[in-house]
Amino acid sequence: MTDFTMTTDADGVATIVWDTVGKSMNVMSRDSMGLLSDLLDSALADEAVKGIIITSGKDSFAGGMDLNVLASIRDESGDNPAQGLFDFTMNGHHMLRKLERAGMDPKTNKGGKPIAAALPGTALGIGLEVPLACHRIFAADNPKAKIGLPEIMVGIFPGAGGTTRLVRKLGAMAASPLLLEGKLNNPQKAKAAGVIDEVVPADELLAKAKEWVLSEPKIVKPWDEKGYKMPGGAPYHPAGFMTYVGASAMVNGKTQGVYPAAKALLSAVYEGALVPFDQALKIEARWFTHILMNPSSSAMIRSLFINKEALEKGANRPEAPDQKVKQVGVIGAGMMGAGIALVSALAGIKVVLIDSTQEAADKGKSYTTAYMDKGISRKKATEEKKAAVLDLINATTDYDALKGCDLIIEAVFEDVGVKADVTAKVQAVTGPDCIFATNTSTLPITELAKAAADPEKFIGIHFFSPVDKMLLVEIIKGKQTGPVAVAKALDYVRQIRKTPIVVNDERFFYANRCIIPYINEGIRMVKEGVAPALIENAAKLVGMPLGPLQLTDETSIDLGVKIAKATKAAMGDAYPNAEVDDVLFWMFDEGRLGRKSNAGFYAYDDKGKRQGLWDALGARYPVAGAQPDLITVQHRLLFAQVLEAVRALEEGVLEDIREGDVGAILGWGFAPWSGGPFSWLDIIGAPYAAERCDQLTEQFGERFKTPDLLREMADKGQSFYKRFGADAKAA
């Protein structure tokens, strides 16, 4: 069996079927690319073949390039990996150019065989770049199919001609959401956007493609014809000029200059637009190689694609029979419980949603109603779907309704006593096999498990707010949590299509443990007299989605005060954050609780829209005459987080650095360009990181003290991924 096979029918139409062996979706590998090239050669050389259809043996067309291939090419290319990657990319271009030219005479554009792409479903990445090289793209009318070039999302850009072809097909302006944002469309929308040519009923897909192939169509691409003009204008055309200048500003504004792929993509588009097509492909290949050689792109691919997927597929799932959830009980229908009920019902799981009053339970359920209504108004859901989802949620005060639940998720008030009561009440009804999970964000799981009948079946499933938007779920093992509970939590997270990390039970688990020092460092700088605008902009310029002060406003200052008080009570004299509390408690006393009170580190208008930083803050905390440089502020903000991640690893809270990196990006938006805290440390290198920590410790205090592990790695010249990565684990 091979990934591509070809048959030719009596009418002389050769059909090449892509069917990657052993995968549910087609992915392009190095070998399969060679195979496709060979089949094309033989079809183009065979006089009996009049035209070609490229289609798929699966429901979808293709998911894209096997991104492991790019990493392996770089690793296998000896001392000149850039050359290896460039040659590989150019090989791809030659193959697709051969497909596009299809044997036409280079001078007259005469002859050649028509080649149609027939997409039964989703076509992503190189799974769309191959069709873009074909002469006509047919897609089955399958509204669930996704068509697009999402490469930018993992820190690269379409490098198999997709960039050059799409811009020449649509113009830079129309191509920009597809290339720069990785926007995916269903077939109808992809046709409206001009990406594909025809949408046909699924059962007529091949027939329509064949009909076209046999119709002796014109197959020469516009850019291979004399006098071709780029839609919307090339860069030296007045309209084109505006597009390119605007795009450059937009990209820098959106990425703050930290995502090299977006800039490289723009360069490939701009420079490519100035030269003939084949030259443009070469330019695209050079920029593509440049990006593949950038440590940010490998780190992003590793965390956001390879490792994210591995975790979703259960890389750290203990051996246990299938634990798919049939009915979940959600206790507490507040902000979190309502969201948990929603995402569970959306996944088709029956939900019993309990609160202390029927009114509160109904209010929790109404969150799903509102969500579905919004979906309907945006044409993403239907009345039937809404009715089906709502039907799955039983909002009640009756604990007896929990009989038959195989998973309970408790999301009541953050109070040990209330949670203990609820645990006992629930367990009086549920069976011995039911797993009990708590969504606590601050209370130790091992402590809460004391109220459970069987602590082996007790676990933390920590969602982030808002539940329906946040992709990460942190699973926390208490001291006695057993493997079945972990498997249950993981299988549930998989059902609701989120990404799990599994950590051990220590104060604030993993995500909050790292994000709190980030917030604290920002506030500490306010107290020191660092300009708030410098703090906020330094954070954004290093790729944090929100500055620490804005984040404090979003999560609310009263929550910060509550956490500070609890931490102080637990740590006693060792509590290190008095300076932070000075600011935080004052803000609290002033009633500036953040977004929810329309007043915080930022000012807000009556409608709650954030304005600028609150200018009166300086009256209490004057801005110092001498300001630190940008890098110092950035390093304080980044090291505050990554040192906690390293300590979490040292202490065994994290068992897998992949979870540390993926969790950081999805959980609190840690500079995604870096691939996560451990990837960032690998990029800057342990020796430099340790040296920098020494300097920061001297200047700013013990909280930056180099962890022993980092010191040891610096001395030995080690990297986290070589020492702790999946390969090291397997070895």
Q: Would you tell me which residues interact with ligand NAD (CB under 6 A)? A: 331-337, 354-356, 360, 411-414, 418, 421-422, 439-441, 462-463, 465
CB of 97 to ligand NAD, least distance (A): 52
State the pairing for strand pair 27-28/64-65.
parallel
Q: What are phi and psi of 7, to 5 degrees?
A: -130, 150
Q: CA 286 to CA 275: how far, in whole Å?
A: 14
Q: C-beta of 463: minimal distance to ligand NAD in Å? A: 6
Shortest distance, CB of residue 403 to ligand NAD, whole angstroms? Answer: 17
Identity of the residue, 411 or 671, whose beta carbon is nearer to ligand NAD in the bound complex: 411
Closer to ligand NAD by Cβ: residue 25 or 335: 335
Cβ closer to ligand NAD: 310 or 420? 420
289 versus 499: smaller Cβ distance to ligand NAD: 499
Closest CB to ligand NAD among residues 181, 362: 362
Query: What is the smallest separation between the CB atom of 456 and ligand NAD, expressed in angstroms?
Result: 22
CA–centroid distance for 135 within its chain? 33
Nearest distance in Å: CB 678, ligand NAD: 24
Nearer to ligand NAD, 388 or 470 (CB): 470
**Which of 8, 356 has the CB closer to ligand NAD?**
356
Closest to ligand NAD by CB, 62 vs 452, is 452
d(CA 412, CA 434): 19
Q: How far apart are CA 477 and CA 486, in angstroms?
A: 7
For residue 279 the two structure tokens come to 């030259």
- Work out how close the CB of 442 gets to ligand NAD at its nearest, in angstroms, rounded to a whole number: 6
- Cα 689 to chain center, whole Å? 26
- The residue (of 139 and 360) whose beta carbon lies closer to ligand NAD is 360
Collect all residues with Cβ–Cβ distance below 8 Å to 338 and sequence separation of at least 6: 353, 363, 364, 365, 367, 368
- Cα 21 to its chain centre, rounded Å, is 27
Q: Which residues contact 669 (CB under 8 A, 6 or more apart)?
A: 544, 545, 546
CB-nearer residue toward ligand NAD: 184 or 501: 501
Q: Are 178 and 282 in contact (CB under 8 A)?
A: no
CB of 600 to ligand NAD, least distance (A): 16
Q: Least distance (Å) from ligand NAD to the CB of residue 289?
A: 43
How far apart CA 198 and CA 241 sit, in angstroms, is 32
Q: Which residue is nearest to ligand NAD (CB)?
A: 334
**Least distance between ligand NAD and beta carbon 307 (Å):** 24
CB of 154 to ligand NAD, least distance (A): 28
- Checking phi first, is residue 149 left (phi over 0); if not, alpha (psi -120 to 50) or beta? beta
Q: Per DSSP, which regions of 9-75 are E strands?
A: 13-18, 27-28, 51-56, 64-65
Q: Which residue, among 117, 129, 109, 102, has the nearest Cα to 53 in the 3D structure? A: 117
| Residue 140: count of CB within 10 angstroms of its CB | 22
What sign for the dihedral angle of Cα 314, 318, 322, 325?
Answer: negative
